[in-house]
Chains A and B, each alone.
Chain A
Amino acid sequence: MSGEPFFDRAVVDALAARLARVSDDVGRQVTVMEVCGTHTHAIAAAGLRGLLPPGVRLISGPGCPVCVTPVDYLDRAIALGRRSEVILCTFGDLVRVPASRSSLEHERAHETDVRIVCSPRDALAIARENEDRTVVFLAVGFETTIPGIAAAIAEAEADGVSNFLVLPGGKLIEPPLRALMEDDEVGVDGFLLPGHVSVILGADFYRFVSDEFEVPAAIAGFTPADVMRALVAIVGQIRDGCARVQNLYARAVRPEGNLTAKALMARYFEPRDDRWRGLGTIPASGVALSPAVAWRDASWIPVDPGVPIEPHGCRCGEILKGVIEPRDCPLFAHACSPEHPVGACMVSSEGTCAAWYRHARMAVGGRA
């Protein structure tokens, strides 16, 4: 499988031309929301935004664990890390996210033991190698990631690794999608649905998007051709006035998803209300450990995370909903920049504001 057509310039050009024609047929500007941080990254890396016709506006939604992890989660992680017996294990994504008074990167410079891992299994291995310490794994991610965390917990249970704890921060994709579609302020005409969350949840999972809300959608892969193809399909649905969920990543996404993964997730996690950076509290949108393994929740360790400081003037919530653009936020490019990010959308290198910041500087010939 060479996969070259997925990155072929002629294919992408042809799809872009098709998209322009379909967009012309629609006759007005449409807004498509891509929900997944990895899509945001893939689109930026290929420079796809510049290939879109003016009638198609692409905005980034809340599907980025970096962007939406609330400040108080990080404050608690930092407080835990300051206990000498704790080893914090985290994905690289969280290291530079600003908390109320610090960040994991800054804590590391102050003697907190922070280790970057690429897998929850790496954190489990660290626990095995350091029996006298307590490993706290910062368990963030969506349904793509949560089953792996559940699997690591299953392994810890089976092998009796009692110093492996997690700080639950996982989020579920359905509640924010519903919240977005129920919100009158949000003007999204179609969804580019996350490809890899869908590998777990299955294509059938998203029926509610079309059945209950009548919004066109397509599950897409991450190559440039995959993304362009999905945009053509979504805008085509808008033109035709229909609303279906098309599975355009059928090579990886089955209708029923991954049943083993879903079962493991259900065994060790249960839904709970959760706060999202920029979006507030959304019911049943996060996960807690199920009762049998609740003792592995590091939240029971007594620490003082301090009062959470929410950034003043930050309008990330409205940006994540696609209601305003980065330039409408008073902090954008002044108090809030990639070097000193205030809100969620600037924190991730592919957040909406971070992406705008870079592209805007290029357009005006930027300072070097």
Chain B
Amino acid sequence: MCLAIPMRLVERTKLLGTAEIRGVRRSISLMLCPEVEVGDYVLVHTGYAIGTIDEQEAEKTMSLFDDVLAAENER
């Protein structure tokens, strides 16, 4: 029930911002995530930032996938 896309916040003015993904920009509301900063990755759903992406956690997940791949190759 939730199409939400990770986008990078490239500009903000009070509670409005511009977020970008792969060269496409969209105006979004920051009312649900007022603490975000320019440069953060946010999840955008129906024109609102609903949360931020924790890059460290993202890295952890990606390296977990690397481990899964390595383990499988060793079998």
Contacts and interface: CB of A to CB of B under 8 A. Distances in A.
A154 to B, nearest CB: 7
A147 B1 contact: no
A61 B1 CA distance: 11
A46 to B, nearest CB: 15
A11 B68 contact: yes
A142 interface: yes
Nearest to B75: A17
Contacts of B45: 144-145, 148, 196
B24 interface: no
Contacts of A36: 1-2
Contacts of A301: none
A147 B48 contact: yes
Interface stretch (A117-125, A209-217, A318-326, A351-359): A117-125
A14 B32 CA distance: 38
A130 to B, nearest CB: 19
B51 A252 contact: yes
Nearest to B72: A14
B54 A251 contact: yes
Which of A14, A36, A225, A251 has its CB near the most chain B CB atoms (within 10 A)? A251
B10 interface: no
Interface in B31-50: 31-34, 41, 43, 45-48, 50
Contacts of B60: 250-251
Contacts of B50: 144, 147-148, 196, 199-200, 258, 261
Contacts of A15: 68
Contact of A252 (B34, B53, B69, B72): B53
A252 B44 CA distance: 11
Contact of A197 (B1, B3, B64): B1
B63 to A, nearest CB: 9
Contacts of B64: 229
B43 A199 contact: yes
Interface string A97-139: 0000000000000000000001111100000000000000000
A145 B51 contact: no
B66 A199 contact: no
Interface in B4-43: 4, 6, 29, 31-34, 41, 43
Nearest to A142: B1
Given A5-B62, A250-B57, A120 B69 contact: no
Given A144-B50, A145-B1, A197-B1, A18 B31 contact: no
B29 to A, nearest CB: 6
Contacts of A5: 62, 65-66
B64 to A, nearest CB: 8
B65 A225 contact: yes
Nearest to A67: B1
Interface of B: 1-4, 6, 29, 31-34, 41, 43, 45-48, 50-55, 57-58, 60-62, 64-66, 68-69, 71-73
Interface of A: 1, 3, 5-6, 8, 10-11, 13-15, 17-18, 36-38, 63-65, 91, 118-122, 141-142, 144-145, 147-148, 151, 154-155, 194-197, 199-200, 225-226, 229, 250-254, 258, 260-261, 264
Minimum-distance CB pairs A-B, first 9: A119-B47, A196-B2, A14-B72, A251-B57, A144-B2, A199-B51, A151-B31, A148-B48, A251-B58
